[in-house]
C-alpha cells in the first residue's frame, strides 16, 4: 500500500513495506549512537546490508566518537538496493520534557540535509524513535511529516518516502500526512 502527497513538484510517499527493499538513493537507519546495529529497523538494515555496514559504523565512531542524537552521517549501502544508508540517532522518549521533539525533528532534517549535500533525489525514512525508544507514534508522525514538509522544498530531493512495516503504522502515518500536507 502507498499514498502520495505533493509539495510543489516534490512528493511525500507513505508506504507499507520493508525499508531494506526500498529502491531509493538512500535509506535512513534509526541508529544507536555507537552505529553498532541493534534491534528493529537498525538490525534489519544491518542484516540486509551485510557486515561492511557495521565496519563502516565502527570506523566512524573510532574516528569521531559516538553520533550525537539528532545528527546524521552517510555510508555506502553495501548489499542493499539503496546506494547509501544515512544513519541518524533519534531521541529516547522520556515524557517529552527533555527536548525530544526538537531532537526528533533534527534527526529528520539533518538526514534530509545529508541527502541534499550528496545530490540524492530519493530517500526513505522509517518511523524514527517509535520502536524501543518509545516515542508516541502519532506525535512522532506529526513531527516527521511537518519537518519534511518544511525542509523538502529547499532540497534536490524529489521523492521522500516513509516506510512503515505494519498496517496500523501505515494507516496512522497516512492519516497524519493527510492532516499536515493535505491533497
Q: Is 168 a catalytic residue?
A: no
Sign of the CA dihedral with 95 first, then 18, 20, and 22 last:
negative
Catalytic residue among 18, 25, 42, 168: 42
Going by the DSSP 8-state scheme, the letter that residue 120 receives in this structure is -
Sign of the CA dihedral with 163 first, then 112, 173, and 15 last:
negative
- Provide Rg for the chain, Cα atoms: 15
Going by the DSSP 8-state scheme, the letter that residue 70 receives in this structure is T
**Grid coordinates given for 31:** 541508529
Triad 45, 141, 39: Cα angle to 5°: 25
Measured CA to CA, the distance from residue 64 to residue 73 in angstroms comes to 11
Catalytic residue list: 42
Amino acid at each position: 500500500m502507498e499514498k502520495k502527497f505533493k509539495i510543489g513538484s516534490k512528493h511525500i510517499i507513505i508506504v507499507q513495506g520493508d525499508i531494506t527493499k526500498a529502491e531509493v538513493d538512500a535509506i535512513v537507519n534509526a541508529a544507536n549512537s555507537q552505529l553498532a546495529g541493534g534491534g528493529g529497523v537498525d538490525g534489519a538494515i544491518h542484516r540486509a546490508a551485510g557486515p561492511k555496514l557495521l565496519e563502516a559504523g565502527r570506523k566512524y565512531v573510532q574516528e569521531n566518537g559516538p553520533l550525537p542524537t539528532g545528527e546524521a552521517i552517510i555510508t555506502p549501502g553495501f548489499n542493499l538496493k539503496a546506494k547509501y544508508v544515512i544513519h541518524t540517532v533519534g531521541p529516547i522518549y522520556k515524557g517529552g520534557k527533555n527536548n525530544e521533539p526538537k531532537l526528533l525533528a533534527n534527526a529528520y532534517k539533518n538526514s534530509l540535509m545529508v541527502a541534499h549535500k550528496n545530490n540524492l533525489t530519493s530517500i526513505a525514512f522509517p518511523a524514527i524513535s517509535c520502536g524501543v525508544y518509545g516515542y508516541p507514534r502519532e506525535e512522532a508522525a506529526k513531527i516527521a511529516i511537518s519537518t519534511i514538509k518544511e525542509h523538502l522544498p529547499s532540497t534536490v530531493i524529489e521523492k521522500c518516502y516513509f516506510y512503515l512495516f505494519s498496517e496500523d503504522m501505515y494507516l496512522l502515518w497516512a492519516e497524519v500526512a493527510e492532516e499536515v500536507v493535505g491533497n
